[in-house]
Structure 1
Amino acid sequence: MPSPVILICAPAHDDVLCEQLARYEREYDVVCTTSGAESYERLRELVDAGRQVALIVTESTLPDAEILWAFHEWRTLVPTARRVVAAHYTRFREDADGLRPALALGKYDAYLLMPRGVRDEEFHGALTELLSDWGSTVPDPEVPSTKIIATAHDPVVGAIRDFLDRMGMPSRVYSPDSEVGRRVLGQLPPDDQGRLPVIWAFSRGVPEPVSSVRDVAVSIYGRPDEVDVDTVVDVAIVGAGPAGLAAAVYASSEGLSTVVVEAEAVGGQAGTSSMIRNYLGFPRGISGMRLAQRARSQAIRFGTRFFTGLPVTSLVAGTDGEPHRLVTESGEVRARSVVISSGVAYRRLGVPAVDDLIGRGVHYGAAVSAARDMDGRDVFVVGGGNSAGQAALHLSRFARSVTILIRRPEVSETMSDYLVREIAFNPVVSIRPCAEVVDGGGEASLEWIDVRDLTDGTVARHEAAGLFLLLGASPHCDWIPEPICRDEHGFVLTGRDVPQHLWTEGLPPANLETTVPGVYAAGDVRGGSMKRVAAASGEGASVVPLVHAYLAELAQDVIRTGRSGRQHV
């Protein structure tokens, strides 16, 4: 397979840019041009030849075109390529005021100072991040960590790929009749011959038939029953979204034994976001997957143990000094304290014909892995929140058209301004207000949807290869016992939000503490939370001092009475 291409447009400083980017020539084809028109022609030739373009780096001024117009033209040819302006130091400040507003609108990905000498690792670090981001979205990764052997249109495969993508594990699907497929299937024991899909993960080195995402998670990451039954951990965290990950990092870094149990993939709903641009400290943005995997690695470094793909089925609150117990179908985790950060799920559309096609063109959530299958096709996104906007912009790199359907008259009521502006300047994405999906269908996969106009009641049919449903929040609370108070929508109540008749001796629970001592809630699952990544991370970090205080009081109770006096129902 030919190497991906890095294209450099350097009309005035090719001696700097082409020389500096020569370090990438071992793994990329580095192509140098000197004008906007020449760059367009080279890109057209590359596309016609079936080549992949990973990155475009250009100076801040061109001799024959305005730079933003050039980006627009180049993007029509290679919408998935990452785009960088590298300004010479003599023009860096002069051109910044005119170009940086377009950065916020998604016209390009980074505004950098051109290297002024060798080993400018700040510059190359930015390029490497962008190349890594591009590599995670290509249809077939160069080095898949997991091979999936499956037939076409298997809905389980889509869910498995989405899980692996969110866990930062590139995958590739092979037909059972392919050379790789036959080789992998040939390693199965006789009893498993003929079972599909089959995964081969580098971490295990042997093929295994699977029937669900849970099978994949258990195969790669293990089960909670591997926790020593004689061990009672200091804190067990339910859910590995931003709140749970922050709690894990801070708890384990402060010496608390910490276990995280996650029903799906690490990152929660935020982990499905293709690009979060307003998270503090990431000026070029960061995908939800990368943010989650960095936090997971950080927590593991401090000693946190993770178990993914296994939902908690019940929480049994400890009494008379006994620890709390998190029960799963594969075992229990016993803990002195518990943090509930299980997040929320997207609400169902409620159209049976559409739900019958889940995994075959219909997806709840962003389903980043499915975006690669939408190349040149028409796609619809239902939802008006930030997740819907991020999903639409990511899909626009692949799809012919992306239409956001919202029930409200204006998307600005529910979506951040930076996303609204970026969508407005994206020619592939459009917003249709006052609309809802009422039907859909297709043979092997989704082919069409019916959309009702809420202003006049008319229904129109549209071709659709993909429907991505991001319909708002419903808390993951079925497993939470009755003594833990929740509001009318099912969100967990903490602190002063708990009704006064449930306070103890006239005092409310501690901030973020539930009505069961030693059990806390953080992030989207908590009533009154902000439903933002940064807010959830802050709550996860804030819960750790409360856990410390509780454990200290628990220890004092044991010294005084020989058992805990606080853990009760």
Structure 2
Amino acid sequence: MPQHPAIILVSATRADFLLDEFGRYVRDYELFAVTSAAEAESLAQRLVEERQPVALFVTEARLPDAPVLVALQRWRVVVPTARRMVAAHWDDFLAEADALRPGLVTGKYDAFLLMPRGQRDEEFHTAVCELLSDWGSTVAAPEVATAEVVADPGNALAVGIREFFARMGIPSATYLPDSEIGRSAADELRAKTGEEPTYPVVRSLRGGVIAPTSVREVAAILYGRPDSIDPEGANTIVDLCIVGAGPAGLAAAVYGASEGLTTVAVEAEAIGGQAGTSSMIRNYLGFPRGVSGMRLAQRARSQAIRFGTRFFTGWEVAGLTPGSDGAPHVLHTDGGDLHARTVVLATGVTYRKLGVEPIEELIGRGVHYGSAMSVAREMEGADVVVVGGGNSAGQAALHLARFARSVTIVVRREGLEATMSSYLIKEISYHHRMNVRPFTDVVDGGGSDRLEWLTLRDRRDRTEDTVPAGGLFLLLGAEPHSTWLPGAIARDERGYIVTGRDVPAESWTDGVPPPSLGTTVAGVFAVGDIRAGSMKRVAAASGEGSSVVPLVHEYLGGL
């Protein structure tokens, strides 16, 4: 029987109190109470050697044998994946707060809370549960997998499917074809199709067992085809169709549906867009301990569904035929057409390709575009390189550092200050497994059957050196995906959609520009990263997504 994850409680004088307070977790976790930093470090080392996972350290603000920030750092070296909480006694909370809070900024620990003063301190335990939930979703293997992926190691499609499941919040597990579960899934597929299976094979609660040829095929089985909204070809017209379900699209879905509009959202990949791949967003309003992009996206999706939004995931909108004289706009997908009185374009941006052919050939075999959270556990003990200087790259690097032996952030600039938030830069600078390599390009890479090495070139003197690498995560600059749009929708020279007063004057109506988020086609709006001049931040995108709904109402009122 597998061992329960450990929670280590550290206090010189109140260990028994903490042990009693954490009694509600006894069923699912093994509790250990110790009285010093050294004892906690020794215990954690023993648990690691015995392969028992450590989920959480909880410590008082004052320890007898070490400053608490020093102790937290020592514990992180032993167990990088564990979450760390300071629970200060009410006698010490105010006295220690000023000295300890800077440690939160540099990522030395995850939460600073007042120790419970009575029974049922649910505010305290909400923080505990958030930390344990984050640990469980990013570190621990799922207790119950609602989806099973059967494939040989290095199967790029299997990696893509696993990442889709991770971003959709679906617990999944991967098995080899010759494993017991692998053979069972293959037998079930043979019985279903009468043919020998091709891999990957996917088995899920909703979709049964299939041998998909694309991530989209998995998404369609789980979440439906766009033409399922209009199964009898009656040309059903919705009030609002949102293209893209990142933060901007999700906000538009919540506000549109909550205000009574029949609302449909179509997403080419997983819900959440690029933000959904972020392992931890710490500067989003209202989440003091941070929130993963996946959790934020799934909460927003659930909220939108509660108000009546219908989501179609895994379908790329290939074209848009604008309506005229009040006729609906028509959006074209391989799964059917959607007719809508208004359209909100929230497709966001995509990462640029590196363009180094030997590296492109290793995608899914150590090379990944985006943060690829589902494969982070596989980087344990490896040297990892992250290419990119934005917040997404910083968040991915910090998450990978929980598993990898070392993480190197490669940037073409002189540093991170111009492109990354200060709080991330501070966390990276204080992390013992991380370093930043400026003025550097990745120019080559290879390995026998997966990535094993990379060649890095200094942009200043053109010198090159080859370094070992078990993983390469590419989070390069963004490019808009707007070539599918008709010429009637104006874009700038880079392909971003222009809106409001940025629309060329010759496209204004009677000398009046479109609404602030309106495009050159009446009833079609653009929000979030795809919009020219937008601020590339999650909160800004969410704000635009909510702000567009009054403009939609105004347009519909004039029809």
TM-score range, shorter chain: over 0.9
Q: Secondary structure at the match of 2:97?
A: helix
Distance in 1 between residues matched to 2:459 and 2:20, nearest whole Å: 58
Structure 1 residues 161 and 139: alpha-carbon distance in aligned structure 2, compared to 1, 3 A threshold = farther
| CA deviation after TM superposition for structure 1 residue 153, in Å | 1.2
Say which SS state the counterpart of residue 411 (structure 1) adopts.
coil
Following superposition, the deviation at residue 15 of structure 1 comes to 2.9
How far off its partner does 1:505 sit?
A: 1.1
2:237 aligns with 232
CA distance in structure 2 between the partners assigned to 1:136 and 1:517 by the alignment: 43
Within the candidate set 440, 444, 448, 1:439 is matched to 444
Alignment correspondent of 2:168: 167
Per the alignment, residue 458 of structure 1 pairs with 463
Map Cα deviations across residues 290-315 of structure 1 (whole Å, 9 max, x no partner).
00000000000000000011100001
Which has the higher mean CA deviation after the structures are superposed, 516-525 or 172-181? Answer: 172-181
1:190 Cα deviation from its structure 2 partner: 4.3
- Is 1:86 equivalent to 2:91 in the alignment? no
- Residue 346 of structure 1: which of 351, 372, 377 is its match? 351
Check the 8 A contact 2:197/2:211 in 1, yes or no: no
State the TM-score, normalized to the length of structure 2. 0.98
**Equivalent residues in 2 for 1:32-43 (5 A)?**
32-43=33-44
1:184 is displaced (CA, Å) by 2.2
Q: Give 1:324's aligned residue.
A: 329
* 1:284 aligned onto 2:303: no
**Which residue does 2:57 correspond to in 1?**
56
* Per-residue CA distance 1:424-451 (angstroms, 9 max, x = gap): 1011110011000011111211111110
State the alpha-carbon separation in 2 of the partners of residues 52 and 471 from structure 1. Answer: 34
Q: Deviations over 1:89-140 (max 9, x none)?
A: 1111111111010011100000011111111111111111111100111252
Alignment of 1:162-241 (within 5 A): 162-188=163-189, 189-204=192-207, 206-228=208-230, 229-230=233-234, 231-241=236-246
Name the SS for the 1:187 alignment partner: helix
Taking the aligned partners of 2:378 and 2:214, their CA distance within structure 1 comes to 21
Give the gaps of 5 or more residues in structure 1.
Answer: 555-569
State the Cα distance separating 1:246 from its structure 2 match: 0.3
1:423 alignment counterpart: 428
User: CA–CA distance in 1 between the matches of 2:511 and 2:325?
Assistant: 22
Shift of 1:277: 0.5
Shift of 1:476: 1.3
Deviations 1:224-282 (A, max 9, x none): 01012432100000000000000000000000000000000000010011110000000
What is the distance in 1 between the residues matched to 2:319 and 2:348?
Answer: 16
Task: Check conservation: 1:16, 1:115, Cα contact below 8 A.
Answer: no
Match of 1:260 among 252, 259, 265: 265
AA aligned opposite 2:52? R
Contact between 1:273 and 1:289, CA under 8 Å: does it hold in 2?
A: yes
Identity of aligned pairs, percent?
Answer: 58
Task: For residue 183 of structure 1, report the CA deviation from its aligned partner.
Answer: 2.0
Amino acid at match of 2:89: H
Structure 1 residue identity aligned to 2:200: P
Structure 2 residue ranges without an equivalent (≥5): none
Q: Tell me, yes or no, if the aligned pair for 1:237 and 1:258 is still in contact at 8 Å.
A: yes
**Cα offset, 1:160, TM superposition:** 0.8
Shift in Å, 1:67:
0.7
Q: Verify: 1:126 aligned to 2:131, yes or no.
A: no
Q: CA separation in 2, counterparts of 1:332 and 1:149?
A: 33
Q: Give the aligned partner of residue 356 of structure 1.
A: 361
* 2:152 aligned partner, one-letter code: T
Q: What SS class does the counterpart of residue 186 from structure 1 fall into?
A: helix
Partners in 2 of 1:40 and 1:376 — Cα distance?
Answer: 20
Residues in 2 aligned to 1:373 and 1:388: alpha-carbon distance in whole angstroms: 18
2:557 to 543, 547, 552: 552
Aligned pair 1:449/2:454, yes or no? yes
Secondary structure of the 2:210 match is strand
Name which of structure 1's ranges 336-345 and 7-16 shifts more when overlaid on structure 2.
7-16
Change (3 A) 1:192 1:248: farther
Residue type at the aligned position of 1:527 = A
- Secondary structure of the 2:188 match is coil
> What residue is the counterpart of 1:301 in the other structure?
306
CA-to-aligned-CA distance 1:139-183 (integer Å, 9 cap, x gap): 521111211111111111111111111111121001121112222
Measured in 1, the distance between the counterparts of 2:138 and 2:252 equals 29
CA–CA separation in structure 1 for the residues paired with 2:398 and 2:249: 27
Shift, 1:528, TM fit: 0.3
Q: In 1, are the aligned partners of 2:223 and 2:313 still within 8 Å (CA)? A: yes
Q: Counterpart of 1:66? A: 67
1:399 aligns to 2:401 (yes or no): no
CA distance in structure 1 between the partners assigned to 2:172 and 2:206 by the alignment: 13
Secondary structure of the residue aligned to 1:136 is helix
* Structure 2: distance between partners of 1:385 and 1:52: 32
**Residues 139/198 of structure 1: CA separation in 2 closer, same or farther (3 Å cut):** farther
Residue type at the aligned position of 1:327:
H
Moved more, 359-368 or 287-296: 359-368
Is the 8 Å Cα contact of residues 449 and 461 (structure 1) preserved in structure 2? yes
Contact 1:192-1:209 at 8 Å conserved across structures: no
User: For the residues of structure 1 that align with 2:351 and 2:184, how far apart are their CA atoms?
Assistant: 39
Q: Which residue of 2 aligns with 1:24?
A: 25
Query: How many residues align structurally?
Result: 553
TM superposition shift of 1:317: 0.5
User: Equivalents in 2 of 1:24, 1:192: separation in Å?
Assistant: 48
Counterpart residue identity of residue 403, structure 1: T
Question: 1:202: how far off?
Answer: 2.3
Structure 2 CA distance for aligned equivalents of residues 197 and 118 of structure 1 = 50
For residue 198 of structure 1, what is the amino acid of its counterpart?
V
The reply to whether residue 481 of structure 1 matches residue 482 of structure 2 is no
- Match for 1:475: what amino acid? P
Structure 1 residue aligned with 2:392: 387
Q: TM-score, normalised by structure 1?
A: 0.96
The CA distance in 2 between the partners of 1:423 and 1:553, in whole Å, is 52
Question: 1:221 is aligned with what amino acid?
Answer: Y
Q: Within 2, Cα distance between the matches of 1:505 and 1:136?
A: 54
- Aligned equivalents of 1:105, 1:55: Cα separation in 2: 18
Give the deviation of 1:77 after TM superposition.
1.2
**Letter aligned with residue 100 of structure 2:** L
- In structure 2, what is the equivalent of residue 100 of structure 1? 101
User: What pairs up with 1:488-527 in 2 under 5 angstroms?
Assistant: 488-527=493-532
